[in-house]
Amino acid sequence: AAGSGVEANARQILLANGITYGDIKVQYLSFAEAANGLKDGNIDAGFITAGFPTAAIQDIAAQHDVVLIPVDDATADKLMAQYPFYTKITIPAGTYPKQEADVQSLAVKAMLVAMEDMDEQLAYDIVKAIYSNLDRLKAAHSVGELITKETAQEGISIPMHPGAEKYFNE
């Protein structure tokens, strides 16, 4: 959708590859609209920001030949230097039907954001609850494997809440 995080990411990735919106026919679609557009053949490509495997892509790939477009190292490095919230990720072969090889892509690091005046103890307790239950996150989705205390502070572009900082400094 226009103005969404996915749209901003799409614009950044396209520009890093020398493609402007003037070079393509842009449609501002929701996740569901993009998935349905691919499934119905009404669009040729779409940017989908989601963990993998993504049920919508599995569904499309079960019915159509789907190609995941890789992001090469040079493009990924360029984007990561400019936008620290990106990280390289590999979508393993077999994640989707007929996907025979690993595909290098980009992931967008997610942040839990709080108001500056949020109670310090509450912020601490929330962060502690998350990192004390990583096994549950991993069980809920395979991308949960990527959430670690060691990498939690990478790519943060705003100041960390004092309660969260207290947890990570223990």
Rounded to whole angstroms, how far apart are CA atoms 98 and 87? 25
For the stretch 23-67, pLDDT in tens is 999 999 988 899 999 999 999 999 988 888 888 899 888 888 889
Nearest-CA neighbor of 167 among 127, 136, 113? 127
For the stretch 79-88, pLDDT in tens is 999 998 888 9
Per-domain boundaries in the chain: 5-108, 120-168
164 Cβ neighbours under 8 A, 6+ residues apart: 123, 124, 127
Task: Give CATH for domain 5-108.
Answer: 3.40.190.10
For the stretch 9-24, pLDDT in tens is 999 999 999 999 999 9
pLDDT at residue 93, rounded to an integer:
95
Neighbours of 71 (CB within 10 A): 20
pLDDT at residue 4, rounded to an integer:
85
For the stretch 103-161, pLDDT in tens is 999 988 888 899 999 999 999 999 999 999 999 988 887 777 778 888 888 777 788 99
Neighbours of 107 (CB within 10 A): 17
Is this model's pTM higher than 0.95 or not? no
Burial class (CB in 10 A: 0-12, 13-18, 19+), 123: buried
Rounded to whole angstroms, how far apart are CA atoms 20 and 102? 28
